[in-house]
């Protein structure tokens, strides 16, 4: 990876940790300090709205210091003009990859996510995109909530999110609300126990329609105790 990707003379690139809709996250070594960090890099520096949202995410994480959130370090602009920020390396598996979990492990994960949400809500923010793939269980067993890219204040415009974990009122166009995060938390808890979402469908529209018209199916009998 080091021979294939060069971000700046400051870093030795050790590997790609993951990619999202607008950014890539690399595992890097800071050559000055020798420390390993995660470096999140925005792909398109020409997208003014994306740049603004990217910087906003960094500032939110910087302000929202909490054991269940990612600890960020520094914002910078790479030599090629792409914005980036460094953070602690979150090494573990996403909850999406671990489900189904035994009951005690699922409860512990939901508890950590609830603490992270409580911290955000007390600070006047709604996460707006809580889902299993936005949470990682660390080697020590604790869970960290990732990606504040869609976070916003309650009532601040139309909220986004992922259809299978989205509260029905948000799907109908309601603004961000902390209670919608709690719906998502319950949907994540269901997924962790059942190994599948609360509602299914061939499209996002079908999933949202099912969530608004019927309760989730009972947990399967073979769900881990």
What ranges do the domains of the chain cover?
Answer: 11-87, 93-213
What CATH number belongs to 11-87? 3.30.200.20
SS3 91: coil
pLDDT tens figures, 114-168: 999 999 999 999 999 999 999 999 999 999 998 888 888 898 777 778 889 999 8
**CA 85, CA 83: separation in Å to the nearest integer?**
7
Could you give the percent of the chain with pLDDT greater than 90? 65
Burial class (CB in 10 A: 0-12, 13-18, 19+), 183: buried
pLDDT tens figures, 149-163: 888 889 877 777 888
Hey, what CATH topology would domain 93-213 get?
Transferase(Phosphotransferase); domain 1 (1.10.510)
Which residues are part of the catalytic machinery?
129
Tell me which residue of 68, 66, 1 sits closest to 39, measured CA to CA: 1
């Amino acid at each position: 990876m080091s021979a294939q990707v060069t971000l700046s003379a400051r870093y030795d690139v050790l590997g790609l940790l993951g990619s999202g809709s607008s950014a890539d996250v690399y595992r890097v070594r800071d050559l000055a300090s020798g420390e390993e960090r995660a470096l999140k890099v925005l792909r398109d520096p020409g997208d003014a709205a994306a740049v603004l949202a990217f910087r906003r995410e960094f500032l939110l994480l910087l302000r929202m210091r909490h054991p269940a959130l990612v600890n960020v370090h520094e914002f910078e602009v790479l030599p090629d003009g792409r914005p980036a920020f460094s953070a602690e390396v979150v090494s573990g598996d996403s909850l999406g990859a671990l489900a189904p979990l035994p009951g005690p492990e699922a409860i512990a994960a939901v508890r950590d996510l609830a603490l992270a949400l409580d911290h955000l809500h007390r600070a006047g923010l709604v996460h707006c995109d809580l889902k299993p793939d936005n949470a990682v269980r660390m080697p020590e067993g604790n869970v960290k909530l990732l990606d504040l890219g869609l976070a916003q204040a309650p009532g601040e415009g139309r909220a986004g999110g992922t259809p299978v974990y989205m509260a029905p009122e948000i799907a109908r166009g309601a603004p961000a609300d902390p209670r919608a995060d709690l719906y998502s938390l319950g949907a994540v808890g269901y997924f962790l126990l059942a190994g599948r979402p609360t509602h299914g469908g061939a499209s996002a529209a079908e999933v949202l329609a099912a969530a608004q018209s019927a309760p989730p199916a009972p947990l399967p009998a073979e769900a881990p105790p």
